[in-house]
């Protein structure tokens, strides 16, 4: 008797709603925010395309502010961001290397818009 067939893998969300790439000179930073309602969850993926960046994932709006996570010398990250309150939630990246780099961010899920404040 043949062993049972393995269960199909859970599909991974690969459809992105927004994608943007930015060229950062040494020392330059960029901020990207998602306009979100409290409790909404957005999927994200960003990469420094072979380089590394410092980042700060945070939110602000309606007199509120929050720091979700920070990192130094990170090449990429993927995950979910759930809004702690209604407002703007996203990332600030800075190129602390001696060479220019290209940062690419992709987002999907629940949010109104992606913007550069």
Predicted local confidence at residue 11, as pLDDT: 44
Name the pTM for this structure: 0.86
Which of 56-80 are b and which e, b meaning 16 or more Cβ less than 10 Å from the residue's Cβ?
bbbbebeeeeeeeeeeeeeeebeee
Which CATH number applies to 25-106: 2.60.120.1050, 3.90.550.10, 2.10.260.10, 2.30.29.30? 2.60.120.1050
Predicted local confidence at residue 42, as pLDDT: 98
Q: Where are the domains of the chain?
A: 25-106
Task: Identify how many contiguous H helices and E strands the chain contains and give both numbers.
Answer: 0, 9
Q: Give the residue among 36, 91, 38 at the shortest CA–CA distance from 69.
A: 91
Q: Which residues of the chain have pLDDT under 70?
A: 1-14
């Amino acid at each position: 008797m043949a062993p049972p067939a393995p269960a199909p893998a859970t599909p991974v969300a690969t459809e992105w709603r927004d994608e943007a790439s930015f060229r950062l000179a040494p020392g330059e930073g960029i901020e990207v925010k998602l306009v979100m309602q409290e409790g909404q969850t957005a999927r994200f993926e960003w990469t420094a395309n072979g380089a590394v960046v410092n980042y700060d994932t945070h939110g602000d709006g309606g007199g509120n502010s929050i720091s979700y996570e920070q990192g130094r010398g990170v090449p990429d990250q993927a995950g979910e961001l759930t809004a702690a309150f209604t407002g703007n939630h996203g990332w600030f990246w800075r190129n602390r290397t001696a060479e220019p780099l290209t940062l690419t961010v992709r987002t999907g899920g629940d949010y109104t818009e992606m913007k550069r404040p």
